Amino acid sequence: MPDPAAVFAAALSLWECWPRRAAIDTNLDFNESYDGLDGLMRVVLRVANQFEAWASRHLNFADLDQPWPCLLQDQFGETCLQLLPPAGLAAFTDHDCLRAAIRLRLPVRLDLGLPVPVDVSAPNPLANSGFREFRIQTVRTELAHDDCVPFTAADDPFDAAFGPPYFALYGLGADRLPEHIADRPTYAEALALAQRLAPGLNFHAS
């Protein structure tokens, strides 16, 4: 269930960002963009409720390293302003929820099919192997050039210039250079392959 404290914290964080941004951007007109401050209040509360509802479905809260409402109060507002212009908050969607979660480096669940960037490594438990470590990283295809490129937290997960992300498994030898082993459509499949190659191997990913 959505946490009322988290909704309040997210709304407060958004609300407190706007006066600071208005002091910098003298062209920002809340009356024109949101039909007055009361309209802005309604939009801020809708976004906070939407993000908390999305988070309750898609995050592993046990993996957070600080109280959820405190994290939102400290960072949510500024993160939203990085995603949308100050006058564009009414256009906030579930896609923006994922974009915000990625920027906040939140533990998004990997079993729901969302385009979430992953880059994890683990030491090989087999001492006599040529690979010292294994690595799973999200990659995707740049459609214009048919090139495989990493998909990272700095990238837009919904950029139409790229295909959907998938999971590449690499082995790292003594020189630390990654050697491509295989690609898999899901993290679970990439992990299963890695564990067949090195029984006992484990990564830490949400």
* Residue 98 CB contacts under 8 Å (≥ 6 apart), including other chains: 54, 58, 108, 114, 115, 116, 157
Query: Is residue 90 included in any domain, yes or no?
Result: yes
Mean pLDDT, rounded, for 22-35: 72
C-alpha angle 154/159/164, rounded to 5°?
95
Query: Is residue 113 included in any domain, yes or no?
Result: no
Same structural domain, 53 and 96: yes
**Host domain of residue 151:** 119-197
Same structural domain, 71 and 125: no
- The reported pLDDT for the residue numbered 205 is 54
Q: Give the model confidence (pLDDT) of 41-82 as tens digits.
A: 999 999 999 999 999 999 999 999 999 999 999 999 999 988
Same structural domain, 174 and 126: yes
Query: Is residue 205 included in any domain, yes or no?
Result: no
List beta partners, residue 119: 137
For the ranges 9-23, 49-63, 94-108, 112-126, the lowest mean pLDDT is seen at 9-23
Number of domains in the chain: 2
Same structural domain, 126 and 60: no
Query: Is residue 156 included in any domain, yes or no?
Result: yes
Query: Is residue 71 included in any domain, yes or no?
Result: yes
Provide the pLDDT confidence category of residue 14 given band limits of 50, 70 and 90. very high
Same structural domain, 8 and 99: yes
Query: Is residue 25 included in any domain, yes or no?
Result: yes
Q: Give the model confidence (pLDDT) of 180-201 as tens digits.
A: 999 999 999 999 999 999 999 9
How many angstroms separate the CA atoms of 44 and 106, rounded? Answer: 21
Q: Which of 75, 103, 131 is the last residue of a domain?
A: 103
Q: Which residue has the higher pLDDT, 121 or 113?
A: 121
Query: Is residue 161 included in any domain, yes or no?
Result: yes
Q: Which of 52, 79, 103 is the last residue of a domain?
A: 103
Same structural domain, 81 and 159: no
Same structural domain, 96 and 187: no
What is the average pLDDT score of the chain? 91
How many angstroms separate the CA atoms of 45 and 53, rounded? Answer: 12
Q: Give the model confidence (pLDDT) of 169-178 as tens digits.
A: 999 998 889 9
- The reported pLDDT for the residue numbered 206 is 45
- The tokens for 67 are 């109280």
Query: Is residue 108 included in any domain, yes or no?
Result: no
